[in-house]
Every structure is written in structure tokens, then in C-alpha cells.
Amino acid sequence: MATPKALVMAGVVPPRVDRTALGLGLMVVTVVFFTMIDTSAKWLVTAGLPALQVVFARYAMHFVLALVVFMPQGGPSLFRSQRPKVQFLRSIFLFLSTILNFTALKFLPITVTTTIMFAGPIVVTLLAIPMLGEKVGRHRLVAVCVGFLGVIVVMQPWGLAFHPAMLLNIGALCMASLYFILTRKLAGIESNATSQLWSAGLASACLAPFAMSTWVWPHGAVDWTFFLLIGIFGGTAHILAVAAHRLADASILAPVIYIQIVLAGVSGIIFFDTWPTVWTLGGGAIIIAAGIYIWHRERQLSRTVTPVNIHARGPMNH
């Protein structure tokens, strides 16, 4: 019988390093698409399209893409959920987060909204205590406090730079964190296809009446381009993220998301002629440092706990 090494040498099985490199590459593309979602949303809402209509376009196109990708293989049974109540709440939290974030983008630079949303892992760490029964040690609790300090630095509630729309972004952060918690609850229970069809389909159905009642057609070619692509960016990003996690460990992929702050800065300069402020960069650095420390501590703990303890701490999937 051929050994695994021999199979790799013969080209039958790709070497793990190649799979990891491919996974990292897909994750980088995913982050680019996530940045383009926010870029498209900010462009459209500042061009005069209602935020609810932009959110509807984002999820309707995502839903169509999910149908095209998943339905030929799984059929209508993919809509059957093992945990419909959790799926429902998860979907609601996701599109509420998107509504709040897209509304905030009308008033705030993309670098500010992106940086505040980077506090997601910090909020998830806190929510995991009551909702998943996880134990969080003092090191991670200190990192949580430091992370929230970074959010305050970005918001500058003491100065003229503070904008009330930042509170919408905080709401989006909380909704997104609840979405991630419920996603972890469904790990190993629901397929990726079912979760995507539910989240995109439910958002489309709920938002359609409101979007249609205040519908505004895009005007120029750029408006139409962003309007048609925003859902494709969203759907493709989610599909690529899942593919990336199949090729490489989540612990390796997790830090890649932080390149989005650089991409958001570049996008803000190119499309909106806005440069990140020192406060945004400084607060972002604090948030990222806290998030990376929490990731590092969780990675250390995952190597030392027993399988029973891992189960007791709740699902660790993204």
C-alpha cells in the first residue's frame, strides 16, 4: 500500500502546504469581496438609494447565487432546517446588522465602520459566556477591555469628530456578534447551503415590501455596477470563506480578516477621497491587537483542553 508521502509525491494527493496556501489565498479574496460590499453600499446610499433597498439588493442577489450554486446538488430539501428557530433568529440578526451598518455608511467613512466592526471577536468572547457556557479567563477579559478602549478611541465621544451614526454601527456590531454566536450553535448541525439559503432568502422576503415601496432606480453606470454586484460580492464571499476553511485551519485563517482595514483605507481614498484619521488608525491598532491576543489565547487553549472540555466550551467554528 502506498504511503501518504508517496501519494503526495505522485501527485495523487496535494501536499498540505499547497492546500493551506490555497486556503489563505481564497481567504484574502474573501476579504477583498467583503470590503467591496461596504464600498458598494456606501456608494449607493450616498448616491440617494434608500438603505433598505440596498440591503434588499445585497441579499436578493446573494439568494439567487445560492440557489444557482447549491440547488442543483441538494434540491428543495436544502431548505429543511434541523433548528429552524435558531436559523430564523440567526438570519434576523444578520440582516439587522446589515441595515444598521449600511445606514451608518451614509454618514461615516468606510474605515470607521470597518474598524468598529473589527470589535466583533471581542463582543463574541463576552457573549459566549452566557450563551455558549464558555469560560473566559482573566487574560481574555483584559483583552476585551482593551478592545473596547480601542472602540472608544475610534468613536471619540468627547470631541467634535463623534457622529451619532456611530451608535448605529455599535448596534450593527452587536447584531453581527449575536449572528456569529448562533452560527457557532449550528456548527455541525446545519449545512452551509441551508444556512446561506435561509439567511439570504429570509432577508430578501422580509425586506422586499419595504424596498419596493420606496424604490429608487440607480442613475449612472457606476451606480448600476455597484447595485448589480453588491449581492454577488456578498454571496461569493461567503462561498469562498467556506471553501477556505475546508482547505486550511480556522486558526491559520483568522488573522487574515485584519487586512480589511488596509483595504477599507484604500477603498476610501480611491472611491470617496477620504483618508483615515490618526484616531481611526490608533483605535484600529488597539482593537486588532486585542482581537489577535484573544485569538492567540483561544488557540493555546484548544491545544491543551481535552476533547470533552472542548465540547463543554461550545462549538469553536466560525
Taking only the tens of pLDDT, the chain with its 318 residues reads 444 444 334 444 444 456 888 999 999 999 999 999 999 999 999 999 999 999 999 999 999 999 999 999 889 999 999 999 999 999 999 999 999 999 999 999 999 999 999 998 889 988 988 888 888 888 888 999 999 999 999 999 988 889 999 999 999 999 999 999 998 888 888 888 999 999 999 999 999 999 999 999 999 999 999 999 999 999 999 989 988 888 888 778 888 888 999 999 999 999 999 999 999 999 999 999 999 998 888 877 766 654 333 333 333 333
Do the Cβ atoms of 186 and 90 come closer than 8 Å? yes
- In this structure, the number of other CB atoms found within 10 A of the CB of residue 306 comes to 8
> What's the rounded Cα separation, in Å, for the pair 208 and 312?
40
Give residue 316's pLDDT.
35
Do the Cβ atoms of 39 and 229 come closer than 8 Å? no
Of 26, 157, 34, the residue nearest 101 (C-alpha): 34
Alpha carbon 132 to its chain centroid, in Å, reads: 20
Do the Cβ atoms of 117 and 176 come closer than 8 Å? yes
Do the Cβ atoms of 113 and 169 come closer than 8 Å? yes
Count of alpha carbons within 13 Å of 133, Cβ hemisphere only? 8
Question: In the chain, what's the furthest Cα-to-Cα distance?
Answer: 71
Of 59, 91, 103, the residue nearest 232 (C-alpha): 59
> What's the rounded Cα separation, in Å, for the pair 272 and 14?
43
> What's the rounded Cα separation, in Å, for the pair 169 and 248?
31
Give residue 95's pLDDT.
94
> What's the rounded Cα separation, in Å, for the pair 106 and 165?
9
Give residue 310's pLDDT.
30
Contacts of range 138-146, beta carbons closer than 8 Å, 24 or more positions apart: 139/293, 139/297, 140/293, 140/294, 140/297, 140/298, 143/290, 143/293, 143/294, 143/297, 144/290, 144/294, 146/286, 146/289, 146/290
What is the distance in angstroms between the CA of the first residue and the CA of the last residue of the chain? 37
Q: What is the DSSP letter of 158?
A: T
In terms of residues, how long is the chain? 318
pTM: 0.86
Of 268, 301, 194, the residue nearest 35 (C-alpha): 268
> What's the rounded Cα separation, in Å, for the pair 67 and 153?
42
Give residue 5's pLDDT.
44
